[in-house]
């Protein structure tokens, strides 16, 4: 998703979803912002550490 200032934002509910996004888009996008929810929100998310694996 692209926000109003032209930055691509990605929100993934699981590490599998993140890996799938990377497989499909790693050659297309030069830079993105990964949205990570805090645990207390109860929303699906991945950890910062997992996002770098």
Summarize pLDDT for 17-49 with one digit per residue, the tens: 999 999 999 999 888 888 888 888 888 888 888
37 C-beta neighbours (distance < 10 Å), count: 13
Q: pLDDT at residue 1 above 70?
A: no
Runs of H (alpha helix) within 1-53: 15-25, 48-51
Task: Provide the pLDDT confidence category of residue 4 given band limits of 50, 70 and 90.
Answer: low
Task: Provide the pLDDT confidence category of residue 16 given band limits of 50, 70 and 90.
Answer: very high
* Per-domain residue ranges of the chain: 9-51
Q: Dihedral (C-alpha) 39, 43, 48, 51: value to the nearest 10 degrees?
A: 150
């Amino acid at each position: 998703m692209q926000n109003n200032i032209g930055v691509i934002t990605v929100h993934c509910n699981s590490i599998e979803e993140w890996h799938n996004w990377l497989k499909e888009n790693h050659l297309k996008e030069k830079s993105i912002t990964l949205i990570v929810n805090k645990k207390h929100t109860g929303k699906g998310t991945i950890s910062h550490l997992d996002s770098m694996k």
